[in-house]
A and B are shown apart, each in its own frame.
Chain A
């Protein structure tokens, strides 16, 4: 029997890839304070995935299209007043979710699939899902690496970047679409609703431990993979839904990091600890 024929083996490979992918893009999400936007994106992806499934087209395609519309809409809105952009993002969040729920209600006997779109179903990932996740990981890593300098400049100092000649609006769109690709890719593993925690928690936990971007990125990827593996282990031994246990593991890593990093900083002499705590 081929190693890949075992559902648990495929699930293990999938959570490693998804954890790395989520951790990688999560650093950008956390540093640019895009968590709320990403939340809206995950909810907007839901109707796209459901609609694609009803029409019978690829669910990745449906999710990417729905999410891209939202990403571009939010990018356009955020160029206007900040207050209205936050309100509009919030409305899109529940509006997108309502649209998905409404679409589901039009189809009888759909409820079982509904839960897999919402919270994932990692034990049923296909070899095709694995290939897509691996390709997405390579593409996203390549984009983040190739665009590291413009993304760093525009993320740290929008005004200065604009003055230096960067098209900051275009870079925002590049990043938002990259985040959307990740959101859609992790749907089979953790679903649309739980994707947010897997993207944000590892990076937010990593941020507690370092002020170096390279270290934060490496830690975020590690925490993302650990969340996936830990969640999968708990799921297979504790009879818990995998999507939920992966999300809970990521949340636990964030909670532990917050408590432990604070404890470490208070024990370390101030001269060393100060570099970890920005004033």
Chain B
């Protein structure tokens, strides 16, 4: 694979000229899975927004799918956290998924058979084939997360960004999401996901980027998530529990 999905060289990102995150240095190839790990406020979401071109790069060079972040937005998928959405909004699961096709369909042209089929297939892929007609608000947190994942994959992105995809998600949904993410990366889609969960990062990611105001470690999980690097990134909230494992204690 020639072109890297994501290449950050000495990047600082932030708001109003003030960096939130400094010294990010990473390269992600197509099909690789990158986990962003760090405490609350570490800059995980800011880094994701910078990949979407929604937070400015203050220093260094950020290349996304061979172009600028904003220029690559139409090939970048994004799965937001479900609790940022209005559960009361009158919309069905299938309508939410169809949003992922809007760019192809255009503003006001009617949906085509190929779009409706893509929506059905995406819902089937996340294990919700029979819930397309359900009101989004009555679905469980995990099912809503799967609907948002289906919305992202019907757009067939080259790079998929997920903001805390396992927060408040039941085991069934987590398994379904992990399975789909593995399939996507096997098919060549690069993945970036932020998570608090070190177990998820260890099991799912090829690469882990440890963040807290700056990049503290980057590498395969076993190298990046050592007790020492976690203690540096998390301060006193990382405790060794033996077996080379470290747990995080929320302050």
The answer, among A148, A150, A210, for a CB contact under 8 Å with B90, is A210
The DSSP consensus for interface residues of chain A is helix
What is the bound-complex CA distance between A279 and B138, given in angstroms? 5
* Chain B residue with the shortest CB-CB distance to A277: B138
Q: Does B87 contact A (CB under 8 A)?
A: yes
Taking CB atoms, residues of chain A closer than 8 Å to B89 are: 31, 155-156
> Quick check: B80 and A145 within 8 Å, CB to CB?
no
Q: Does B179 contact A (CB under 8 A)?
A: no
Contact with B along A30-45 (1 / 0, CB 8 A): 0100000000000000
> Quick check: B54 and A162 within 8 Å, CB to CB?
yes
Q: Does B248 contact A (CB under 8 A)?
A: no
Q: Does B129 contact A (CB under 8 A)?
A: no
Residue among A164, A207, A211, A274 with the highest chain B CB neighbour number at 10 A: A164
The minimal Cβ–Cβ distance linking A177 to chain B, given in whole angstroms, is 18
Q: Does B200 contact A (CB under 8 A)?
A: no
The answer, among A148, A156, A274, for a CB contact under 8 Å with B86, is A156
The DSSP consensus for interface residues of chain B is mixed
The answer, among A145, A152, A163, A274, for a CB contact under 8 Å with B138, is A274
Partner-contacting stretch, out of B7-15, B101-109, B165-173, B220-228: B101-109
Q: Does B135 contact A (CB under 8 A)?
A: yes
Q: Does A212 contact B (CB under 8 A)?
A: yes
What is the bound-complex CA distance between A145 and B108, given in angstroms? 8
> Quick check: A150 and B107 within 8 Å, CB to CB?
yes
Taking CB atoms, residues of chain A closer than 8 Å to B134 are: 275
What is the bound-complex CA distance between A156 and B85, given in angstroms? 7
Within 157-191 of A, Cβ neighbours of B (below 8 Å) are at: 157, 159-160, 162-165
Residue among A31, A156, A210 with the highest chain B CB neighbour number at 10 A: A156
Taking CB atoms, residues of chain B closer than 8 Å to A31 are: 89-90
The minimal Cβ–Cβ distance linking A140 to chain B, given in whole angstroms, is 15
What is the bound-complex CA distance between A249 and B78, given in angstroms? 45
> Quick check: B54 and A211 within 8 Å, CB to CB?
no
The answer, among B78, B88, B90, B103, for a CB contact under 8 Å with A160, is B78
* Chain A residue with the shortest CB-CB distance to B88: A278
- 19 A-B residue pairings within 8 Å (CB atoms): A147-B107, A149-B99, A150-B107, A152-B91, A153-B99, A155-B89, A156-B99, A157-B84, A157-B99, A159-B84, A160-B148, A160-B151, A163-B161, A164-B99, A165-B74, A211-B90, A212-B92, A274-B138, A278-B87
With contacts A216-B90, A279-B87 known, what are 17 further pairs, Cβ within 8 A? A31-B89, A149-B108, A156-B96, A157-B80, A160-B78, A160-B80, A160-B151, A162-B54, A163-B76, A164-B73, A164-B102, A164-B155, A211-B135, A212-B92, A213-B90, A278-B87, A278-B135
